[in-house]
Structure 1
Amino acid sequence: MRNQLSHYNPLHRTFWSKESHASRSYRVNKLLAWGRLQSRKQLNFDQYPNGGVAWVHPSVLHVPEKWNGYAYWMGINAYPQTDGSYENPYFFFSQDGVAWHSPAGMKQPLYEVLDHTVHNSDAELILVPDRSKMYYLNRAVLEGGGSRLELSESTDGISWTGPTTVFPGPFPDLLSPTVCEHEGFYYLFAPAVRWNEGEERAFQKLNVWRSCQLASGWEHVNSIATGPLGNIWHAEVRKTKDRFIVLALCGDLQGGTLQFGTFLNPYSTHMNRETYMVDRSLFNYKSSFVVNGNHLEVFAGFKGVGLGQDTLWRITRKTLKLGTVLKKL
Structure 2
Amino acid sequence: MKLRLRLKGTYYPRRAGPSILPNAETPLSIPTYEGSNQVVHPSVIDFSLEHGIPQWHGYRYWMVLTPFPYSNDSFENPSLFVSNDGIVWTVPPNVKNPLATAPGGMRAGFNSDPDMVYDPDADEVRIYYRFTSKEQMTLRMIRISDVTSAPVDVIKYSPWKEVDNNFRSPCIWRESTDRWHMWGGGRERAPYGIFYRFSRDGISWERPQQCVDDLGGDPFVRSGFTNWHMSCKPDRSEGRAVFLSCAYPLESIGLGVILHAECKNEYPTTLTTPINRPVLLPTESGWDNETLYRCSFTLGPGNDHYNIWYSARSKNGVWKLGRTSGYVRMG
Normalised to the residue count of structure 1, the TM-score between the two structures is 0.77
Cα distance in 2 for partners of 1:84, 1:179 equals 23
Asked if structure 2 preserves the Cα contact closer than 8 Å seen for 1:211 and 1:219, the reply is: no
Gaps of 5+ in 2: 8-21, 213-217, 283-289
Q: Deviations over 1:16-50 (max 9, x none)?
A: xxxxxx9xx97999xxxxxxx9952422223351x
Residue identity opposite 2:25 in structure 1: R
Query: Structure 1 residues 210 and 38, CA, compared in 2 at 3 Å: closer, same or farther?
Result: closer
Matched with 2:144 is 154
Q: Deviations over 1:171-227 (max 9, x none)?
A: 522210011123641011002x13xxxx64651x32100010112243324523314
Query: Structure 1 residues 26 and 167, CA, compared in 2 at 3 Å: closer, same or farther?
Result: closer
Higher alpha-carbon deviation: 219-228 or 104-113: 219-228
Cα distance in 1 for partners of 2:234, 2:274 equals 18
1:316 is aligned to 2:309: no
Matched with 1:271 is 272
Q: Deviations over 1:212-256 (max 9, x none)?
A: 011224332452331455301111111102121110111176331
Asked if structure 1 preserves the Cα contact closer than 8 Å seen for 2:31 and 2:37, the reply is: no
Matched with 2:243 is 246
Matched with 1:63 is 47
Matched with 1:138 is 129
Matched with 2:232 is 237
Q: Secondary structure at the match of 1:96?
A: coil
Residue identity opposite 2:28 in structure 1: L
Asked if structure 2 preserves the Cα contact closer than 8 Å seen for 1:283 and 1:304, the reply is: yes
Matched with 1:301 is 311
Cα distance in 2 for partners of 1:59, 1:221 equals 24
Cα distance in 2 for partners of 1:120, 1:138 equals 7
Cα distance in 1 for partners of 2:205, 2:183 equals 15
Query: Structure 1 residues 293 and 41, CA, compared in 2 at 3 Å: closer, same or farther?
Result: farther
* Match for residue 45 of structure 1 among 30, 34, 42: 30
1:1-329 correspondence runs (5 A): 40-49=25-34, 51-64=35-48, 65=53, 66-113=55-102, 117-130=108-121, 132-144=123-135, 147-156=137-146, 159-169=147-157, 170-171=160-161, 172-173=164-165, 174-182=167-175, 184-191=178-185, 193-194=186-187, 200=189, 203=192, 205-224=193-212, 225-227=218-220, 228=222, 230-241=225-236, 242=238, 243-251=240-248, 254-265=254-265, 266-281=267-282, 283-293=291-301, 295-305=305-315, 310-321=316-327, 325-328=328-331
Gaps of 5+ in 1: 1-21, 30-36
Offset, 1:118: 1.9
Asked if structure 2 preserves the Cα contact closer than 8 Å seen for 1:52 and 1:81, the reply is: no
Q: Secondary structure at the match of 1:45?
A: coil
Relative contact order higher in (CA < 8 Å, ≥ 6 apart): 2
Query: Structure 1 residues 38 and 269, CA, compared in 2 at 3 Å: closer, same or farther?
Result: closer
| Runs of 4+ with deviation above 4 angstroms | 25-29, 114-117
Normalised to the residue count of structure 2, the TM-score between the two structures is 0.76
Structure showing the higher helix proportion among its residues: 1
Asked if structure 1 preserves the Cα contact closer than 8 Å seen for 2:41 and 2:114, the reply is: yes
Cα distance in 1 for partners of 2:326, 2:174 equals 24
Residue identity opposite 2:140 in structure 1: E
Q: CA RMSD in A?
A: 2.9
Residue identity opposite 1:313 in structure 2: W
